[in-house]
Amino acid sequence: MSLQASRILSGLHPWLAARVRWLGEVATLYGSGQTLISGTRTITEQGRLYDFQGNRPAAYPGCSQHQYGFAVDATYLPIVQITSKGKPFIWTPAETTSAMNNAARHVGLTVVANDDGHYQVFPGIQFREYIVAVGLCPQNPPPPLWNIAEVQASNDAYRDCLLAASRSNRLLGADSPSFSCPQPCGPLFNRLC
């Protein structure tokens, strides 16, 4: 595994990291390969991406699951299938994406339309409602070229709480009896706490 991949995996919530590792194994079995592009982002990184608004427009700082360890961006090499005659048959990028998306859904990840290779823990609408309700994400985000100081101040109250929750392994359905949910985390995190 590349240094970049281990660094990205170690920053993700363990529930997500385990599934992303598994997707990497699936890709290998398919004769493809997984490259991890982006995992957990700081508010500054998210702000840069939001301002950039490239071919994958990013959410306003505070609004992205990427900031809390709940999302990852991956790319996959085309799947190579060996036919019954022993010849390699190379899938199109769209077919490869579709196969990997199915694998991701199979292990409970949320796949987002028009954002190939982006996998997240929570359904987008559910997460957005929560993140707006707790004041981490504005209902109507301002256009790009935002004021980082303003955003940072409004986020401070909840950021630590969310990061602590995102580091728990409750989503794995396992044993972290010592972990108590920081307040005020709110209803979304009942799934974790």
What is the Cα–Cα distance from 41 to 24, expressed in whole angstroms? 21
Q: Which of 118, 127, 137, 171 binds Zn ion (CB under 5 A)?
A: 118
Asked if 120 and 71 count as a contact pair (C-beta separation under 8 A), the reply is yes
Task: Report, in Å, the least distance between residue 75 CB and Zn ion.
Answer: 11
What is the Cα–Cα distance from 109 to 96, expressed in whole angstroms? 17
- Per-residue binding string, Zn ion, 21-40, x by CB under 5 A, is --------------------
Under rule CB under 5 A, residue 73 binds Zn ion: yes
What is the Cα–Cα distance from 116 to 111, expressed in whole angstroms? 8
> Which window, 97-105, 118-126, 128-136, 151-159, contacts Zn ion (CB under 5 A)?
118-126
Task: Report, in Å, the least distance between residue 73 CB and Zn ion.
Answer: 4
Q: Which two tokens stand for residue 105?
A: 């859904």
Under rule CB under 5 A, residue 170 binds Zn ion: no
Provide the 10 A C-beta neighbour count for residue 179: 15
Task: Report, in Å, the least distance between residue 168 CB and Zn ion.
Answer: 22
Under rule CB under 5 A, residue 41 binds Zn ion: no
With respect to Zn ion, which residue has the nearer C-beta, 70 or 73? 73
Residue 85: alpha-carbon gap to chain centroid = 39
With respect to Zn ion, which residue has the nearer C-beta, 13 or 118? 118
Phi, psi for 76 (deg, rounded to 5): -130, 140
Give me the residues that bind Zn ion (CB under 5 A), please. Answer: 73, 118
